[in-house]
Amino acid sequence: MKRQRLNRLAKETSPYLLQHAENPVDWYPWGDEALTRARSEDKLILLSIGYSACHWCHVMAHESFENEETALLMNDNFVNIKVDREERPDLDAVYMAAVQAISGGGGWPLTVFLTPEGKPFYGGTYLPPEDNYGMPGFARVLRAVADFYRNRRGEVEQAAQQIMTALEAKADIPRKRGSLVAATLDQAFLALKGDFDAANGGFGAAPKFPQPLILEFLLRHYGRTGNKEALNMVSMTLEKMAKGGIYDQIGGGFHRYATDGKWLVPHFEKMLYDNALLSQVYLHAYIVTGTSLFRRIAEETIDYVLREMTSPEGGFYSTQDADSEGVEGKYYLWTHDEITEILGKETARIVNDYYGITVKGNFEGRNILHVPADLPAEESDAIKQARVSLLKRRERRVRPALDDKILASWNGLMLASLAEAACVLNRDDYLAAAVASGSFLLGAMLSEGYLKHTCKDDKARSEGYLDDYALVTEGLLSLHQATFEGRWLREAIRLTDVMVEEFWDEPTGWFYDTGRRHEALFVRPRNMHDGAVPSGSSAAALALIKVSRLTGNQRFEDMAARALKAVQKEMSHHPLGFGNWLCALDFY
C-alpha cells in the first residue's frame, strides 16, 4: 500500500520550495512544526538548502527526492526540512559554516544532518544516488547516519559539540585593532596583482567569477593613486568578459560565472545581484575611461533587467534559471543552420564570423555566442539588426524558469546602479524605474517601520537582515543624489538608525547579520567576508560613513572605523574576500 504523502510545501511562496511540493518526501518548511516534531519524536533532522536557479539542486532533486524508495528512507528516519537559502540567509550561513568545518568545503545543494535540537553533526553538498564521483551514495549515507544515531548517540552529541565550539571560535571578532592606514590599500593591490590573470583578465583559474567588488576597488585605487596598472587590470577584465560567453551577446546581462578560464562557457543562470554590480562597475569604468564599449554593456545589462527581471510594481526579481526544458543553457544556444534560416545567408555569414559560430559548435554541438576577434566599441548596423532578429526568435523558445521573489538587499544593489546610471547617462527611463524601485521598497517592503527581507505575490515576509538595511540605504542614497528629493535621504537616515539599533554589538564593535527581532539560532551569525555580494557588515560600514558625511553624525563614522580596524589585516593579506571592505576603507 502506497504511503500517504505529507509534503507541506504547497502553501509556501518560495519558487524553490514549490519546486519540491510534489516530491514523495515529507518535506517541512523551516519552522516550529518541524522542530517540535523532531524533539517530541527524538528524530534526526535532514536539512536540505538550495535555491531555484541551482543546477545541482535540480540534479539531486531528480535523482533522489523524486525517487520513491529514497523518499521512504528519508521519511522513516528523519524529519525533512527544505530551505531556500535566498529566503533564509541566516540558516544558510550557520549551516554552511558547519559543513565547511566538517568537510572543508561547501556549496549547494547543502545537505546537513542535525540533532533533534537543530545542532549539526554531519553534512555535505550534492550527493549522488549511488556511490560515484568519489562520493558515497545518498541512500547509503541515509542508512549510515540513521544507524549511527541509534547505536552511537554519544558520539553524535560529541561531534555536534565539537562543531559548536569551532563555530563559536570562528565567530570571534578580533579585539586588537590598530589605526587605519592607506598602506593597507596599497598592500591589497599588490596581492591582487599577484592573482591577476594577465592573459584573460580576472583572478585565478577556472571556474572564473566576475569579482565586481574587486574591480570597484581597483577603480578606486586608480582614482586615489593614479596607478595605471590598476586601471589596466579593470579594463582588460571588462573587455574580456564583454567578449565572452559569460555575457549574453543577444539579450544583454551576465550569467553567473564561467566554467573555463577564458570566460567562454558560462554557468547559465542569471542573478540579479551580478547584473546590478556589473552594470555599476561598467558604468564606473565608462566614467573613468570614456570607453563607449563600457557604456554600451552597462546600458544593455540594465535594459535586460528592466525587460526581464522587473515586476509591474517596480521591484526586481531574483534569478533566471540555467536550465530550460531540462537542458542547461538550451535557451541561449544556437546552431549554424538556425542563424542562416533566421537571417539569410549573407547576413548570417557576417554574424557567424562576428560571434564565432561554426557548424561543429563550441558547446555540445551548439554555439555559445562570443566575440573571438577584437570587440568594437560600436557594433555595425548589420550586427545590431541581427541581434534584434535573434532576440525576437529566442523569445519564442521555452524560457528558463524565473524566481520572481523580490529580495530587499539585491533590490538595493540594483537601485543604486539604476539611479547612478540615470544621472550619468541622462536616461529619464532609468530615473523613472529607480523612483518606482525606491517607492516599492519603502511601500511593499516596510512594515511598522521595519524592513522585510523578501516579497512575493504582494506578501512581504521575514524580518530584514543586516545586508537588507545596509544595501537599501545605499540605494536610497543614490536615488537622493539622482533626484535631490528629501524623502529618499530622510528614509536612508531612518533606516540607518534602525540598523544600528537592531544589529550593532557595542562590546565587540561589530555587527550581527540577524537583528534583535530575528529567531535565535544555535549561533548568531555574523559574516566577515565579502563574496559575490557585499557582506552585511562591509555594506553597513560603507553606509554608515556616507550617512555620517551627509549628516555630521560622528558616532556613525566611529562605528564604521571600529569595524574597519577589525578586518584591516585580513584586507591586506586576502583581498579577494574583502572587496567591499576595501572600497569602504578607501572611501573612509
Which residue among 137, 170, 203 closes a domain?
170
* Amino acid found at 159: A
The verdict on 148 and 215 lying in the same domain is no
> 351 with 382: CB under 8 angstroms?
yes
β 319-320/402-403 pair status: antiparallel
Structural domain contains residue 408: yes
Residue 158 shares a structural domain with residue 25:
yes
**In this structure, are residues 121 and 113 in contact, taking their beta carbons and an 8 Å threshold?**
yes
Rounded to an integer, what is the distance from CA 3 to the centroid of its chain?
38
**Which H or E run contains 556?**
helix 554-573
How far is 232 from 226, CA to CA, in rounded Å? 11
Domain stop point among 394, 429, 450? 394
Q: Is residue 1 part of a domain?
A: no
Domain that holds residue 439: 183-322+402-587
Do 146 and 189 reside in the same domain of the chain? no
Measured over the CA atoms of residue 75, residue 77, residue 79 and residue 80, the dihedral's sign is: negative
Claim to verify: residue 100 and residue 238 sit in the same structural domain:
no
Kindly report the length of the chain.
Answer: 588
Q: Which CATH number do you get for residue 42?
A: 3.40.30.10
Same domain, 297 and 333: no
**Cα–Cα nearest to 521, from 83, 18, 109:** 83
Residue 85 lies in a domain: yes
Q: Are 471 and 422 in the same domain?
A: yes
| DSSP H or E stretch at residue 74 | helix 68-77
Asked if residue 10 is part of any domain, the answer here is: no
27 burial type by CB count under 10 A (0-12 exposed, 13-18 middle, 19+ buried): buried
Same domain, 386 and 484: no
Contact indicator for 53, 322 with CB cutoff of 8 Å: yes
How far apart are the C-alpha atoms of 202 and 237, rounded to whole Å?
Answer: 5
Question: Do 315 and 332 belong together in one domain?
Answer: no
- The Cα–Cα gap between 451 and 502 comes to 11
Structural domain contains residue 6: no
- Does residue 379 share a domain with residue 291? no
Structurally, the chain folds into a number of domains equal to 3
Tell me the one-letter amino acid at 310: T
**Which residue, among 168, 65, 166, 47, has the nearest Cα to 117 in the 3D structure?**
47
CATH number at residue 527: 1.50.10.10
CA angle (503, 504, 510) in 5-degree steps: 120
Which of 394, 428, 448 finishes a domain? 394
Identify the pLDDT of residue 2: 44
Helix, strand, or coil (residue 177): coil
One domain, residues 158 and 273? no
Burial-class residue 521 by CB neighbours within 10 Å (0-12, 13-18, 19+): middle
Q: Measure the CA–CA gap between 582 and 192, rounded to whole angstroms.
A: 12
Per-residue pLDDT, 167: 83
Summarize the chain as % helix, strand, coil (round to 5): 55, 15, 35
Helices (H), 118-211: 138-151, 153-170, 183-195
For cell 550557520, the residue is 94
The one-digit pLDDT tens for each residue of the chain (588 residues) are: 344 456 799 989 899 999 999 999 999 999 999 999 999 999 999 999 999 888 899 999 999 999 999 999 999 999 999 999 999 999 999 999 999 988 888 999 999 999 999 999 999 999 999 988 788 899 999 999 999 999 999 999 999 999 988 887 776 777 778 899 999 999 999 999 999 999 999 999 899 999 999 999 999 999 999 999 999 999 999 999 999 999 999 999 999 999 999 999 999 999 999 999 999 999 999 999 999 999 999 999 999 999 999 999 999 999 999 989 989 899 999 999 999 999 999 999 999 999 999 999 999 999 999 999 888 878 899 999 999 999 999 999 999 999 999 999 999 999 999 999 999 999 999 999 999 999 999 999 999 999 999 999 889 989 999 999 999 999 999 999 999 999 999 999 999 999 999 999 999 999 999 999 999 888 889 988 999 999 999 999 999 999 999 999 999 999 999 999 999 999 999 999 999 999 999 999
Extract the C-alpha cell encoding 468.
537588507
Q: Would you state the pLDDT for residue 258?
A: 97
Looking at the structure, tell me whether residues 417 and 545 fall in a common domain: yes
CA angle 132, 134, 139 (to 5 degrees): 50
C-alpha cell at 544: 554608515
Using alpha carbons, select from 101, 98, 90 the residue that is nearest to residue 114.
Answer: 98
Closest to 180 in 3D by CA, of 470, 566, 465, 497: 566
For the record, the C-alpha cell of 179 comes out as 589605526
Q: What gap in Å lies between CA 479 and CA 462, rounded to an integer? A: 25
What is the C-alpha to C-alpha distance for residues 292 and 348, in angstroms, rounded to an integer? Answer: 26
Which of left, alpha, beta for 366 (phi over 0: left; psi -120 to 50: alpha)? beta
Helices within 356-407 (DSSP H only)? 381-394
Which residue type sits at 33? E
* 261, part of any domain: yes
Beta bridge partners of 366: 363
- Per the domain annotation, does 476 fall within a domain? yes
Verify that 554 and 474 share a domain, yes or no: yes
In-domain check, residue 446: yes
Classify residue 330 by its DSSP letter: G
User: What angle (nearest 5°) sits at the alpha carbon of residue 339, between those of residues 334 and 345?
Assistant: 155
